[in-house]
Amino acid sequence: MNLLPPAATRAHPVWLRVGTLLDGSAGPPLRNAHIVYDCDEIKFVGADGRTPPPEILRPGQTAPDLDAPEATLLPGLTDAHAHLFLEGGEMDPAKRAAYLRQTPAEFLAHARARLAPLVRLGITAVRDAGDRHGVGLTLQKLSSEPGRPLMPFVESPGAAIFHRGRYGAFMAGAIEDYPTPRACVEARIAAGAGRIKLIPTGIINFKAGAVTSEPQMTVEEIAQLGAAAKSLGRQTFAHASGDTGIERVIMAGVDSVEHGYFVTDDQLALMRDRQTAWVPTFAPLQAQLDHTAALGWDAAVQDNLRRILDDHASSLAKAHALGVIIVAGSDAGSCGVPHGLGLLRELELLERAGLPPLAVIHTATGAGAARFVYQEKFGRIAPGWRSRFILTCHSSLDTVANLRQPRTVVFDGDVFSAGENAGPAGL
């Protein structure tokens, strides 16, 4: 079936009819749905055959521009945790180390080259998770400018905040550079940060199969940073793994826990009660397991990786049952996690861990749109929201793996034919 609607402009709205519409909410699919949109926004959504009013159509139009009863329409995807300055598709450790020695201008050039391919894959928004080179902030500004190149919406915290000498120097700036936590946050916002990224913990020691370092921030420090951000109109998100660090982050009141490996059942309940979102990022650890030969991991490390991923999947199922807000983020840019393709892999891993396909789609669309309150309205199919969506004959309700099948991406009225034809090189 031809799923290529005409391009939409302000003067030329487009009318589609599809068999199934996933609106990005947690609700059931809409059937026999009609949608009218122009290059700016969605004008009408009607289910069960309800047709649009004539006044929002082109003069004399009496039938849809595209009638696709076999098709499914869903919002464009958001990757809520990615590092746009890094190349995730490169597996060679020496080449990755050399990449990190580039200039800020070189990082930016590589990142800009990734933007159009992301849109063509169906990733129409990215919550960048930090860099100290100004790459994310530059892309954030570019994404809001009139006449911008083809690129997703980008929001960035700029440099994350960490303690000097601890984990995070490659993407963060030290809190010690400022007299107070508030001054540190004020500097980030003055630089243009869309939200504030904190690094209160270290990372997993794969050989030990645990987070073996003490958290690098106290509850009081995290709370002071968060309070300063909130008073200045910004949310916070925190890299956190290990139960001690996760506990501190939740108690301090951050808006989202990133990664969250070794989260406890009690902490999940507390996250639900406090409306703390969780971005579980399966993809980077799965990539370590998938590429153990290239990375040189022995059998003991492989066993640790399997155990950690199995426990993480169990925690995800519990979180879903409890009603924790779960948002999809791939940690793209990490070793083995290419941008765009890494998010598709993350969604498959969320499904494999036990989330139903509709719930998985919600994590990459409406869940983040609702909890993170971005500056643009995307992630939902509803009047007034941006016209950014995916159209496919391969139902993602059967499995989210079908998001890799040939599909059409509509982005602000422009139309792109997409399929699994992108490789990880450069991403």
Q: Is 95 helix (H, G, I), strand (E, B) or coil?
A: helix
Give the per-residue pLDDT at 419: 61
Over range 166-171, report the average pLDDT: 97
Give the per-residue pLDDT at 133: 97
pLDDT at 215 over 80: yes
**Residue 365: how many other CB atoms lie within 10 Å:** 29
Listed by start position, the domains of the chain span 14-75+379-418, 77-372
pLDDT in tens, 31-81: 999 999 999 999 999 999 999 999 999 999 999 999 999 999 999 999 999
pLDDT at 420 over 60: no
pLDDT at 266 over 70: yes
Over range 381-403, report the average pLDDT: 97
Name the nearest CA neighbour of 13 among 51, 50, 47, 55: 55
CATH fold for the domain made of 77-372: TIM Barrel (3.20.20)
Name the nearest CA neighbour of 186 among 243, 148, 151, 234: 234
Give the per-residue pLDDT at 421: 59
238, exposed or middle or buried, with CB in 10 Å at 0-12, 13-18, 19+?
buried
The phi, psi pair for 66, rounded to 5°, reads: -140, 120
d(CA 324, CA 274): 9
Give the per-residue pLDDT at 1: 65
336: left (phi over 0), alpha (psi -120 to 50) or beta: left
d(CA 89, CA 406): 22
Is residue 400 within 8 A of residue 361, CB to CB? The reply is: yes
Over range 14-42, report the average pLDDT: 97
Give the per-residue pLDDT at 418: 80
CATH superfamily of 14-75+379-418: Urease, subunit C, domain 1 (2.30.40.10)
Quickly list DSSP for 276-294.
-EEE---HHHHHHHHTHHH
Name the nearest CA neighbour of 275 among 255, 249, 304, 246: 255
Q: Which residues contact 222 (CB under 8 A, 6 or more apart)?
A: 198, 200, 238, 248, 249, 252, 254
Q: In Å, what is the CA distance from 362 to each residue of 66, 78, 120, 176, 368?
A: 25, 10, 20, 39, 8
Over range 368-382, report the average pLDDT: 97
d(CA 131, CA 159): 5
3, exposed or middle or buried, with CB in 10 Å at 0-12, 13-18, 19+?
buried
> Could you tell me the end-to-end alpha-carbon distance of the chain, in angstroms, rounded to an integer?
30
pLDDT at 350 over 70: yes
Q: Which residues contact 310 (CB under 8 A, 6 or more apart)?
A: none
Q: Which residues contact 301 (CB under 8 A, 6 or more apart)?
A: 206, 207, 292
pLDDT in tens, 284-298: 999 999 999 989 999
Is residue 324 within 8 A of residue 315, CB to CB? The reply is: no
Alpha carbons within 13 A on the beta-carbon side of 1: 16
pLDDT in tens, 146-157: 889 999 999 999
